[in-house]
Amino acid sequence: MQLNGSTFIVTGGASGLGAATVRMVVAGGGRAVIADLNEAEGMTLARELGAAAAFVRTDVTDEASGRAAVVAAVGGFGASAGPLRGLVNCAGIVHGEKIVGKDGPATLSGFTRTVNINLTGSFNLMRLAADAMVKGAPNEEGERGVIVLTASVAAFDGQIGQAAYSASKAGLVGMTLPAARELARYGIRVMTIAPGVFETPMVGQIPADIAEALGKSVPFPPRLGRPAEFASLVGEIIRNPMLNGEVIRLDGAIRMAPR
């Protein structure tokens, strides 16, 4: 699959890993729909990148909102635009809460919201985007599209207080292979990236000294990952047709401690 002449939807595309992915797509000659709730940052990024990018305010948990993003990707760039060839799901939230804390059991709403956004929201956009890709013509390799999900190393070694977050990300890991097997008949590949600790707005919410310590805990390189490094891997997944049905840890060999 080539970036040049193709259209991609990037959820959570207004900042962090998603914004880096949007920039990578446009730099490679593709067009990108920035599907995000953050209108201010999304519009700013779209203006920066020009006609090759469009912002669509998107709630990944809402069917109508997801459909609007797909419609914009299919027809929003004009008759000369390339077909919808990809979806990169970066939208997500972090939730930390102990199952039993000082004030009693964890809130059910916190668990439900985390799973709804991280897992159900990713499935929502995957099914809608795949439906649109199926209707497109395949390229010379028989490919119609590629879907990249964003999990986390927490799917494998979640920490205390991450039951909801880890469960939501582990769901994406478990969905990868069956989705790839099902969509293979249409020439659509499905891959998942499980990042470690990266420089994102989520990490920016924690104190600088703790963020620095997190970076130093990475075996090599001993620092936080850069969003451009995530985007680089997305680009390779898009280009390499043999990458399918697998989860790639992008983490500098970190294994998270219990706390």
Active site residues: 165
Q: Where are the beta strands (DSSP E) in 25-169?
A: 31-36, 53-57, 84-89, 100-101, 104-105, 145-150
Which residues, in sequence order, are CB contacts of 7 under 8 Å at separation 6+? 30, 31, 32, 33, 73, 74, 77, 81, 82, 83, 84, 85, 86
The answer to whether 8 touches 25, Cβ cutoff 8 Å, is yes
Which residues, in sequence order, are CB contacts of 253 under 8 Å at separation 6+? 218, 219, 220
The number of residues making up the chain comes to 259
Instruction: Count other C-beta atoms under 10 Å from residue 62's C-beta.
Output: 12
Helix 16-27 to helix 227-239 angle (10° resolution) is: 50
